[in-house]
Amino acid sequence: MFKSSTQTIPTVNEVPCHIAIIMDGNGRWAKQRFLPRVAGHKQGVETVREAVKACSELGVGYLTLFAFSSENWRRPPEEVSFLMGLFLAALEREVAKLDKNGIRLRLIGRRDRFSPEIIRSIEAAEARTAANSGLTLTIAADYGGRWDIMNATQLMLKAHPELATTGFEEADLEPYLAMAYAPEPDLFIRTGGEGRVSNFLLWQLAYTELYFTDTFWPDFNRTALEAAIQSYRHRERRFGRTSEQLKSTPC
Ligand code: IPE
Ligand code: IPE
Ligand code: MG
């Protein structure tokens, strides 16, 4: 288990160990160019490729990308179906390259609302890359932070029914959260100008440094990513302590 930011003081490194991104602004990027919204999603896949490469090279351990929220099903059916098609095509096309580059792919979120074809493809991609030891790339698809906490609670109570009467603690719940295999994100990035979390990793973002940029996701290139990391480097992560305490104990 990784250190919880509320139960212990996590180690802070120059390069964030875990970056979590809300890839927003695809539709507006396309609209600006008088293109259909879906053209923005297509271009967004290119940015994903670039971000994965940059994070691997920079020594980031975990990159988590919000691709489809539990509320994105509310979009027009044509857009949802385009996104599903794009997701499946990207999974099938990219897995060999990810594997070759030592990247471990994980999916978090509900799986039961995807087509059997997508579910098979997710399982195959995860199995093929499971033993890789490079960057862990997590795609959050049909993911919602509230779902994650509810789901974890249900799983925990199923495994330990006695906790329903004795009560439980954070450490009891954490192994059942969707990202139990990763440390909590050090840096959260949201592109596209909105200043909200949109039901992303609600539990895990407790002490994450937040970075918001107006840049639309398809324009979020390596330089933009490095600027976000640069901003992160200047943050003082106190985890509840005072600045003076930090100076006497470096992390
Ligand atoms: C993010 O871009 C991609 C998904 C949510 C799938 P949007 O499609 O939300 O783009 P905007 O926010 O409408 O510009
Ligand atoms: C958040 O973006 C979800 C993803 C990027 C996958 P949205 O565009 O769906 O968020 P809201 O609706 O503006 O909050
Ligand atoms: Mg959006």
Q: How far is the CA of 63 from the centre of ligand 2 (A)?
A: 18
Q: How far is the CA of 122 from the centre of ligand 3 (A)?
A: 24
- Residue 163 in tokens: 């906790």
pLDDT at 38 over 60: yes
pLDDT at 11 over 90: no
In a domain, 166, yes or no: no
Q: How far is the CA of 177 from the centre of ligand 2 (A)?
A: 21
In a domain, 115, yes or no: yes
Domain span holding position 212: 18-144+187-235
In a domain, 246, yes or no: no
pLDDT of 249: 67
Sign of CA dihedral 136, 178, 208, 29: positive
Q: How many helices (H) and strands (E) does the chain have?
A: 9, 6
- What gap in Å lies between CA 207 and CA 10, rounded to an integer? 10
In a domain, 104, yes or no: yes
Query: How many domains is the chain built from?
Result: 1
Cβ–Cβ < 8 Å for 6, 207: yes
* H-helix segments, 102-221: 116-129, 145-159, 163-166, 170-173
Tell me which residues are annotated as active site: 24, 72
What pTM, to 2 d.p., does this model score?
0.97
Here the CATH number for the domain that contains residue 60 is 3.40.1180.10
Region 201-220 average pLDDT: 98
pLDDT in tens, 144-183: 999 999 999 999 999 999 999 999 999 999 999 999 999 9
Ligand 1 pocket test: which of 24, 38, 41 has the largest number of ligand atoms within 8 Å of its C-beta?
24
In a domain, 167, yes or no: no
Residues 6+ apart with CB under 8 A from 143: 66, 68, 69, 70, 108, 109, 110, 178, 200
